[in-house]
């Protein structure tokens, strides 16, 4: 287990991204109405985008913060294997937050006369959306029954100067806390944190068996980075909030108040329909003197990248103990880092034949939302989709190598499924151990290419 301590604070991460050349700044004026999010979509999956000049607002906006492997590695200051290791240790080794008095997020405190729509450059993301949304807000709450702190992302539609529509899916811990408060006849105090420690961004995106209800997500964030998250008492609600966040919206969700929210384009690529949603009433806005606003496109790479390494770490933890020939796994981009996995195995004897299929079954057991698992041998580059397809083209025989598991449960947002019920598919693209030689790929000389030695001199076709 890694003992590494990382400085995952938001501004430290931004500094590392700049140093690594991972920031693209757009200095011209940009419209938060559709234009900014369109740039994020066009340039998705690569560098962090920085917009210092947002029309109508003084706050700079950043987008695509963690939308690529290179950005995640630069932001965390360790490679993706390191990130997976940190995630793995986090839940079992929580570090309670440390309460501090000196909180940059309280440099400016507004409790009256504010209008969130004028202060925050929340984007109008896509033309089919219902309005402007805060999308990278981490909602921190203390469960009214258990007293345990929870952190989760929830999109927030701007509905008035101090009114936000909040999307609370069933099965979420925040939903549970809200229902419990409702039963007690009380409203639920919350704090929406923007631009917090990246460790908190990761834990807030983690759910299900990877983040059980008993887990205090502020402490798990500390466990992830290896250092306590610093927190401070909020101004108008009885909650501890990350002291170094960029912006915090304090408020409460009242059981009596509902309004229509949506449609909004979600991670699966479709727009969720309009529906009644609870209202978050803002009681205070606090922020740094010069806050940086973070935006995430619902249908964009960052939404799904926030979970990629968490899911891979969970998958590998199960697979390595259940099926030790498993070497590595990748949750692919095309499968939204959630629905498809490529699993790499290393067979070392005839007795290992068949275990690749056990790995398929164990994968489906490990991650509920997985719908497709492709198993390949250790000479296939699982992070190169062409190489994975090569394995399918040359090593998979459809009459024998497709494993179908009908009627299993996946993600309810996948519209082709029946409310989440779907046939899961395993593809065995491995070679039987004894036949490996027959499938060996031709190797060429591993030569160093010096681009300077190549010119555009045309082929002489005259003589």
Ligand X SMILES: Cc1cc2nc3c(=O)[nH]c(=O)nc-3n(C[C@H](O)[C@H](O)[C@H](O)COP(=O)(O)O)c2cc1C
Which residues of this chain interact with Mn ion, rule CB under 5 A?
150, 173, 211
Taking CA 59 as the corner, what is the angle to CA 227 and CA 124, rounded to the nearest 5 degrees? 100
Nearer to Mn ion (CB atom), residue 135 or residue 150: 150
Site pattern 265..304 for ligand X (x: CB under 6 A): -------------------------------x------x-
The 3-state DSSP composition of the chain as helix, strand, coil percent (nearest 5) reads: 30, 25, 45
Q: Does 125 bind ligand X (CB under 6 A)?
A: no
Q: In what order do the strands lie in the sheet with 48-51?
A: 23-25, 48-51, 61-63, 293-294
Cα–Cα distances in Å, from 430 out to 18, 179, 402?
42, 48, 12
The entry of Mn ion, ligand X, none that residue 206 binds, CB within 5 to 8 Å by partner kind: ligand X
d(CA 252, CA 239): 11
Q: Which stretch binds ligand X (CB under 6 A): 206-214, 364-372, 387-395, 401-409?
A: 206-214
Q: Are strands 230-233 and 188-194 parallel, antiparallel or unpaired?
A: unpaired
Q: Does 196 bind ligand X (CB under 6 A)?
A: no
Nearer to ligand X (CB atom), residue 47 or residue 173: 173
Nearer to Mn ion (CB atom), residue 204 or residue 388: 204
Cα–Cα distances in Å, from 312 out to 83, 188, 358?
10, 34, 17
The entry of ligand X, Mn ion, none that residue 303 binds, CB within 5 to 8 Å by partner kind: ligand X
Nearer to ligand X (CB atom), residue 276 or residue 393: 276
Shortest Cβ 149–Mn ion spacing (Å): 9
Nearer to ligand X (CB atom), residue 153 or residue 309: 153
Nearer to Mn ion (CB atom), residue 71 or residue 143: 143
d(CA 229, CA 206): 17
Q: Does 352 bind ligand X (CB under 6 A)?
A: no
Q: Does 9 bind ligand X (CB under 6 A)?
A: no
Shortest Cβ 351–ligand X spacing (Å): 40
Residue 259: is the preceding peptide bond cis (ω within 30°)?
A: no
Neighbours of 389 (CB within 10 A): 13
- Ranges within 140-169 binding ligand X (CB under 6 A): 150, 152-155, 167-169
d(CA 183, CA 166): 19
Q: Which string of b and e fits 411-448 if b means at least 16 CB within 10 Å?
A: bebbeebeeeebebbbbbbbbeeeeeeeeeeeeeeeee
Identify the residue among 16, 173, 294, 422 touching ligand X (CB under 6 A).
Answer: 173
Which residue spans within 262-337 are E strands per DSSP? Answer: 264-265, 271-272, 275-287, 293-294, 326-331
Nearer to Mn ion (CB atom), residue 211 or residue 316: 211
Under a CB-based contact definition with an 8 Å cutoff, are residues 332 and 341 in contact? yes
The entry of ligand X, Mn ion, none that residue 296 binds, CB within 5 to 8 Å by partner kind: ligand X
The entry of Mn ion, ligand X, none that residue 155 binds, CB within 5 to 8 Å by partner kind: ligand X
Nearer to Mn ion (CB atom), residue 306 or residue 343: 306
Among the listed residues 96, 208, 93, the one whose alpha carbon sits nearest the alpha carbon of residue 152: 208
In whole angstroms, how large is the CA radius of gyration of the chain? 24
Identify the residue among 229, 268, 306, 336 touching ligand X (CB under 6 A).
Answer: 306
Shortest Cβ 362–ligand X spacing (Å): 23
Per CB under 6 A, residues contacting ligand X are 135, 150, 152-155, 167-169, 172-174, 205-207, 211, 296, 303, 306
């Amino acid at each position: 287990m890694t003992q590494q301590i990382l400085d995952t604070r938001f501004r430290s991460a931004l500094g590392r991204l700049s140093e690594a050349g991972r920031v693209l700044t757009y200095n011209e004026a940009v419209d938060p109405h559709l234009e900014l999010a369109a740039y994020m979509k066009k340039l998705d999956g690569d560098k962090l985008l920085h917009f210092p000049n947002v029309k109508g607002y003084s706050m700079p906006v950043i987008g695509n913060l963690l939308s690529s492997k290179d950005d995640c590695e630069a932001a965390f200051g360790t490679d993706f294997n390191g990130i997976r290791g940190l995630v793995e240790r986090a839940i079992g080794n929580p570090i309670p937050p440390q309460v501090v008095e000196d909180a940059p997020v309280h440099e400016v405190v507004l409790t009256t006369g504010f209008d969130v729509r004028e202060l925050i450059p929340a984007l109008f993301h896509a033309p089919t959306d219902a309005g402007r949304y805060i999308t990278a807000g981490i909602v921190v709450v203390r469960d009214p029954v258990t007293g345990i702190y929870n952190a989760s992302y929830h999109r927030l539609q701007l509905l008035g100067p101090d009114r936000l529509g909040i999307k609370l899916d069933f099965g979420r811990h925040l939903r549970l806390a809200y229902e419990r408060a409702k039963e007690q006849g009380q409203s639920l105090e919350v704090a929406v944190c923007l631009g917090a420690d990246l460790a908190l961004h990761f834990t807030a995106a983690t759910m299900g068996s990877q983040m059980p209800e008993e887990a205090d997500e502020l402490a798990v964030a500390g466990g992830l980075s290896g250092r306590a998250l610093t927190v401070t008492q909020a101004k108008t609600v009885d909650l501890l909030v990350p002291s170094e966040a960029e912006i915090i919206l304090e408020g409460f969700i009242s059981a009596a108040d509902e309004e229509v929210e949506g449609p909004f384009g979600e991670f699966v690529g479709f727009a969720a329909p309009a529906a009644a949603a609870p209202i978050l009433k803002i009681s205070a806005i606090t922020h740094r003197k010069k806050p940086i606003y973070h935006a995430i496109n619902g249908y964009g790479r960052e939404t799904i990248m926030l979970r990629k390494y968490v899911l891979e770490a969970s998958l590998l933890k199960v697979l390595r103990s259940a099926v030790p020939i498993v070497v590595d796994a990748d949750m692919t981009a095309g499968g939204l880092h959630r629905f498809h996995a490529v699993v790499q195995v290393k067979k070392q004897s005839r007795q290992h034949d068949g275990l690749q299929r056990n790995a398929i079954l164990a994968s489906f057991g490990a991650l509920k939302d997985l719908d497709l698992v492709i198993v390949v041998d250790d000479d296939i580059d699982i992070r190169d989709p062409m190489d994975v397809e090569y394995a399918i083209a040359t090593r998979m025989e459809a009459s024998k190598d497709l494993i179908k598991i009908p009627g299993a449960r996946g993600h309810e947002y996948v519209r082709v499924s029946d409310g989440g019920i779907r046939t899961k598919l395993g593809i065995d693209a491995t070679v039987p151990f004894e036949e490996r030689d027959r499938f060996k790929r031709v190797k060429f000389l591993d030569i160093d290419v010096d681009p300077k030695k190549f010119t555009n001199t045309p082929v002489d076709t005259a003589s």
